[in-house]
């Protein structure tokens, strides 16, 4: 995964920008909001997500890591691909997406081109417990301390799914190793994601 790129902006277009990185110009697909804040010749850092398809490698760019995280979570909802997830963030900031999902505001989600009522309902249903609270809210501020927790949970879940476990089995495994991860974090010795994944696999194999 290419998590971020940093370099001078070489070109700006309607759908993205070209970032000069180590002598290579990388085209990064961005929302109009992100593009508006970039200038040719100026240095920039973009959080990125690489989407691999049989016929293309597409690098999507975001203003920060939170925006990228919401982009990736949106794609886990049924019927939402990278283009549609990017369109959502082109209309709403991450906290606005969280607020719409938390309050069942289907009308707000339907403001996004390509998002109809059925897709909006799927986003609300499938992401309600995964997007977390608004970053700017008191709950969000306290949740910031748990950011690494959310990150490892998602990485372990993704790893298990990639190894062939079902979504339900992956979620059960994540729940099973959470006490172990929390204990390590409280001892100021957080466990690496690879170690948590191994523990999850061992627990699942022992069932």
Per-residue pLDDT of the chain (207 residues; tens, 9 = 90+): 788 999 999 999 989 999 999 899 999 999 988 998 899 999 999 999 999 988 889 999 999 999 999 999 999 999 999 999 999 999 999 999 999 999 999 999 999 999 999 999 999 999 988 888 776 555 444 444 455 556 778 788 877 887 778 888 888 888 888 888 877 777 666 777 778 888 888 887 776
* Whole-number pLDDT of residue 149: 59
What's the fold here for domain 4-62? OB fold (Dihydrolipoamide Acetyltransferase, E2P) (2.40.50)
CB-based burial of residue 119 (10 Å sphere; 0-12 exposed, 13-18 middle, 19+ buried)?
Answer: buried
Sequence spans of domains, the chain: 4-62, 65-132, 146-205
- Taking domain 146-205, whether its CATH number is 1.10.287 is answered by no
Options 3.40.50.300, 3.40.309.10, 2.60.40.10, 1.10.150.20; CATH for 65-132 is 1.10.150.20
pTM metric for this prediction: 0.65
Dist. CA 31–CA 45, nearest whole Å: 15
Res 143: pLDDT: 45
Q: Which residues, other chains included, contact 78 with Cβ-Cβ below 8 Å and sequence gap of 6+?
A: 122, 126
Query: What gap in Å lies between CA 151 and CA 75, rounded to an integer?
Result: 16
Distance of CA 37 to the CA centre of its chain: 21
Q: Which of 87, 50, 76, 59 is nearest to 154 (CA)?
A: 76
pLDDT of 138: 52
């Amino acid at each position: 995964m290419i998590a971020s790129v940093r370099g001078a902006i070489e070109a700006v277009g309607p759908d993205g920008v070209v970032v000069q990185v180590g002598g290579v110009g990388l085209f990064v697909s961005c929302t109009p909001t992100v593009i508006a804040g970039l200038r040719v010749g100026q240095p920039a850092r973009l959080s990125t997500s690489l989407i691999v398809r049989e016929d293309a490698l597409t690098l999507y760019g975001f203003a920060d890591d939170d925006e990228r995280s919401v982009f990736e979570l949106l794609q886990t909802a049924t019927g939402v691909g990278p283009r549609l997830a990017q369109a959502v963030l082109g209309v709403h900031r991450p906290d606005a997406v969280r607020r719409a999902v938390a309050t069942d505001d289907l009308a707000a989600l339907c403001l996004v081109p390509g998002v109809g009522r059925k897709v909006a309902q799927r986003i609300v249903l499938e992401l309600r417990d995964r997007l977390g609270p608004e970053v700017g809210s008191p709950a969000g501020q306290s949740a910031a301390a748990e950011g690494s927790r959310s990150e490892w949970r998602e990485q372990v879940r993704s790893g298990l799914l990639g190894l062939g476990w079902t979504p339900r089995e992956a979620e059960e495994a994540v729940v099973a190793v959470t006490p172990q991860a929390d204990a390590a974090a409280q001892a100021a010795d957080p466990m690496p994601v690879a170690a948590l994944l191994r523990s999850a696999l061992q627990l699942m194999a022992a069932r």
